[in-house]
Chain A
Amino acid sequence: MRKLLVWCCAIGFAASAWAAEEAYTVRATELKAKPYSDAQTLMTLPERSKVMVVQRRASWSQVKSGETSGWVKMLSLQLARGATDRRADNGLRSLFNVARSGGSGATVTTGVRGLSEEQLKNAQPDPQALQELERYAADRREAQRFAAEGKLQAQRVDYLAGGGK
């Protein structure tokens, strides 16, 4: 029954932008009613509890644990092996379709080009692609307009001090 529910959830969410993805807790974690530290604690999930991640909001992930839905700190989770493969498949499919309709057709991957160690060492420069890259550059004004469209507001934030350097 539990499995069936999970499947129903998975299928239901698959239709939306974000399909639920399997994860487990890496430490004992409080399941909160809302994505705030001082929100009501619904239950405490022990380490290695299986949950389905529904969405993320900043440092919080909305999860379903059995019948209970709530929020946990994102970094107290680890996604299950292969949990994001479907996302990658969908993403690649859309990128492939757009590439096909947008231009001269999908690029055929040849054996010579690629990002393996050997291929990088033997890479021959492609000045034409470099010229094409130049054409897509955005100037200051264009970037500012784009940010305003997305209601992005610049903030003053200091760099985080790290260890070592």
Chain B
Amino acid sequence: MRAIILLCAMTLAASAHALDFGSIDWDKAAKMVQQVKKANTEVSEPQEIELGSGIAGSLLGAAPLLDNPALQRYVNRVGRWIALQSERPDLPWHFGVLDDEDINAFAAPGGYVFITKGLLARMNNEAELAGVLAHEISHVLRKHHLQAIRKGARSELLAGLADDVIKSRGGDERLGKLVSAGTELYARGLDKEDEFESDRMGVVLAARAGYDPYGLPAVLQTLQSVNPTDSNLALMFKTHPGFDKRLELLGPLMSPALDGLEGQPDLGRRFAAVIGGGK
């Protein structure tokens, strides 16, 4: 794959200078190769956050935040507490409830996590919320979206995402294109393997945070019961592996490994109080 990119870069460099008596500008070609190579290196944390903030802004353009500050703060506390149990506790984590009846949850690079009102409404307790947030947090921890952009058609743009670009604070055209590529990912979905990995990590993060570890499987089981023709589930179906398969993989991994944590609370009462507006 890398070889193909290099070859393309060389060809491009050659064609751009076709008028120079067919000679190749080796300096330029070398520079381009270097730039393409950079696309395969790590994006710095500030870059990741800037890109994530752009993608989050776009997502909020598609679905607004639910107008319920107490609930938004509650979800941020649950999410931040879980993130504190992870290997990236100090990212600027942000959590939001989207005012949309679609059943889904999203993550963006740099610590942005969203859950829809439609998914929240089907939950029974805080452990289930924790399970879903922990799954999304895991996408951020493992940089699944960055990897997907890197694998996609826009990989060359990541190469241009240098520190000086970031200083322009969103005004750069290349950053705009990366944000579009990142937002479009929500319509295409990640690799199935990334979803399975986030399931495996999510149940552990919820357990580390002191919750009943079975919140995420319980949500998957709930979603199994939703009519597959329900339009609110269309995007989730298109972009995620089937619920049956996810449960089938998770079940044997969780038991006996997490059996000792079965007594951890699910905080159903606290959840009901916030959802019902008791707070």
A66-B214 Cα distance, complex, nearest whole Å: 26
Tell me whether A82 and B275 are in contact in the complex, defined as CB-CB below 8 angstroms, given that A147-B81, A165-B197 are known contacts. no
| A114 pairs with B63, CB closer than 8 A | yes
Chain B: how many interface residues by the 8 Å CB criterion? Answer: 103
**24 cross-chain CB contacts under 8 A:** A17-B124, A56-B214, A56-B218, A57-B262, A91-B120, A91-B121, A95-B68, A95-B71, A95-B120, A95-B121, A113-B62, A115-B98, A115-B235, A119-B62, A120-B183, A125-B57, A130-B56, A138-B77, A138-B80, A140-B80, A140-B89, A152-B267, A157-B207, A165-B193
Does A83 reach chain B (CB closer than 8 Å)? yes
| A88 pairs with B122, CB closer than 8 A | yes
Does A134 reach chain B (CB closer than 8 Å)? yes
A75-B214 Cα distance, complex, nearest whole Å: 10
Does B102 reach chain A (CB closer than 8 Å)? yes
Does B48 reach chain A (CB closer than 8 Å)? no
Chain A residues with Cβ below 8 Å from B122 are 84, 87-88, 91
Which A residues form the contact surface with B (CB < 8 A)?
A: 17-18, 21, 56-60, 74-75, 77-85, 87-88, 90-92, 94-95, 97-99, 101-107, 109, 113-117, 119-121, 123-127, 129-130, 132-134, 136-140, 142-144, 146-147, 150-160, 162-165
Tell me whether A125 and B58 are in contact in the complex, defined as CB-CB below 8 angstroms, given that A58-B263, A164-B193 are known contacts. yes
Chain B residues with Cβ below 8 Å from A74 are 214, 217-218, 221
Interface centre among B65, B69, B75, B268 (most CB of A within 10 A): B65
Chain A residues with Cβ below 8 Å from B77 are 138, 142-143, 146
| A56 pairs with B265, CB closer than 8 A | no
- Cβ of A61 to closest chain B Cβ, rounded Å: 9
| A107 pairs with B64, CB closer than 8 A | yes
Which B residues form the contact surface with A (CB < 8 A)?
A: 53-54, 56-73, 75-81, 84-85, 89-90, 92-96, 98-102, 104, 116-118, 120-124, 126, 179, 183-184, 186-187, 193, 196-197, 200-201, 203-204, 207-214, 217-218, 221-222, 224-227, 234-235, 238, 247, 249, 251, 253-255, 257-259, 261-265, 267-268, 270, 272, 275-277
| B63 pairs with A113, CB closer than 8 A | yes
- Cβ of B275 to closest chain A Cβ, rounded Å: 6
Tell me whether A115 and B61 are in contact in the complex, defined as CB-CB below 8 angstroms, given that A92-B121, A146-B77, A158-B204 are known contacts. no
Chain B residues with Cβ below 8 Å from A97 are 277
| B208 pairs with A160, CB closer than 8 A | no
Complex partner residue of B61 from A58, A125, A134, CB under 8 angstroms: A125
Tell me whether A104 and B193 are in contact in the complex, defined as CB-CB below 8 angstroms, given that A56-B218, A160-B254 are known contacts. no
